[in-house]
Amino acid sequence: TTGASQVEFGDPELTARINDAMVQVEELLHTELSSGEDFLVDIVMHLTRAGGKRFRPMFALLASEFGEKPLSENVIKAAVVVEITHLATLYHDDVMDEASMRRGVPSANARWDNSVAILAGDILLAHASGLMSLLGTDTVAHFAETFGELVTGQMRETVGPRDTDPIEHYTNVIREKTGVLIASAGYLGAMHAGAAPEHIDALKNFGAAVGMIFQIVDDIIDIFSETHESGKTPGTDLREGVFTLPVLYALREDTPVGAELRDILTGPLEDDETVNHVLELLSQSGGRQA
Ligand code: GRG
């Protein structure tokens, strides 16, 4: 009834525990975001109601299994803080990308307008901050750093210096904009379960790596899918002049389409015809192997 996604692991007891805890995550998420006047709640709950994988809170719960108090109340709160922060970034990201779809429904900027979507992201951050304050100053300090890095990643992608190696630039961007929040899920889940410092650290590092893989897959989908699972049109990054790993791979000297791509890809792509042509070249480039 809560819409919480169900998962299955090899161990049936773990499956039951995690699914029960995900129901608690969903309940707290709904309770937290449902406070306020009706007109606000509709906007703030828009993407939560639309679905989403809840990958980050799930990872926080799993990380907590390494501690003495797995799935404790504070672990649930930390998982919800991470999901709400993620939601805030989705609202803002869709404004920046002028995206019309998210989680299979119209994005908030399409359904309302840019101002509403930006403000909704801000309210979500206010909710995340309130909930986070219940978890103590260490968590707040950790989160301030995490969130700063996340926004830096988005900023680096948009206006960051380009004098480093392009792959290094891309790696820095995805580590920051996607890796750190998933790392934080692992860190906070393990920390609030009372895990040993070396386990907390390992789960943070594992989360960072998983987050980067997650973003690379997302970027490959943006280039090579017919239509995005979320209903987004492929080629969003190209339209913005953001060159992700499959593009950087195809641009190399030794790919058959590298020279032509280098001529075309000098900045954001203006029209659909050029975007489609580039997508076609990329599909011939072996970029899927990137
Ligand atoms: C100040 C709130 C605020 C944000 C500014 C916009 C921004 C900084 C950062 C954007 C970072 C971003 C959107 C990274 C992409 C992360 C990503 C892979 C999103 C998709 O995640 P999924 O697949 O989505 O987990 P669901 O819908 O399943 O939750």
The residue nearest atom 24 of ligand 1, judged by CA position, is 52
Choice from 86, 182, 219 to test ligand 1 binding pocket (greatest atom count within 8 A of CB): 86
In a domain, 50, yes or no: yes
Judge if 191 and 249 occupy the same domain.
no
| Residue 97 CB less than 6 A away from ligand 1 | no
pLDDT digits (tens, 9 = 90+) for 233-243: 789 889 888 99
| The pLDDT of residue 126 | 98
Domain that holds residue 285: 245-289
Specify whether 63 is located in the same domain as 189.
yes
- Looking at residue 1, its pLDDT comes to 38
Residue 150 lies in a domain: yes
Phi, psi of 102 (to 5 degrees): -155, 135
- Rounded to the nearest whole angstrom, what is the distance from the C-alpha of residue 109 to the centroid of ligand 1? 15
Q: Is 201 contained in some domain?
A: no
Judge if 71 and 151 occupy the same domain. yes
Q: 102 - beta bridge partners?
A: 105
Is the residue at 158 inside a domain?
A: yes
Bridge partner residues of 106 (DSSP): 101
- Based on the fold, state whether residues 44 and 162 are members of the same structural domain: yes
Q: pLDDT digits over 127-176, tens only?
A: 999 999 999 999 999 999 999 999 999 999 999 998 789 999 999 999 99
Residue 159 and residue 33 share a domain: yes
97 and 169 co-located in one domain: yes
**How much distance in Å is there from the Cα of 54 to the middle of ligand 1?**
12
Q: Is 212 in the pocket of ligand 1 (CB under 6 A)?
A: no
Residue 223, in any domain of the structure: no
Length of the chain: 290
The C-alpha atoms of residue 169 and residue 161 are separated, in whole angstroms, by 8
52 with 143, same domain? yes
Q: What is the DSSP string of 176-203?
A: IIIIHHHHHHHHHHHHTTT--HHHHHHH
Q: Has residue 132 been placed in a domain?
A: yes
- Nearest-CA residue for atom 3 of ligand 1: 89
User: From the CB of 24, is ligand 1 less than 6 Å away?
Assistant: no
Q: Both 262 and 130 in a single domain?
A: no
| pTM strictly above 0.90 | yes
CATH number at residue 165: 1.10.600.10
- Nearest ligand 1 atom to the CA of 55 is 25
Q: Can you list the residues of the chain whose pLDDT is less than 50?
A: 1-2
Count structural domains, the chain: 2
Same domain, 143 and 261: no
Instruction: Please tell me the distance between residue 253's alpha carbon and the centre of ligand 1 in angstroms.
Output: 32
Query: Is residue 111 domain-resident?
Result: yes
User: Do 187 and 256 belong to one domain?
Assistant: no
**Residue 272 and residue 172 share a domain:** no
Could you tell me if 189 and 53 lie in one domain?
yes
Q: How many CB atoms lie within 10 A of CB 286?
A: 16
ipTM field: 0.95
* 3-class secondary-structure state, position 16: helix
Nearest Cα to Cα of residue 33 among 22, 43, 44, 23: 44
Last residue of a domain, one of 195, 228, 260: 195
CB of 224 closer than 6 angstroms to any ligand 1 atom = no
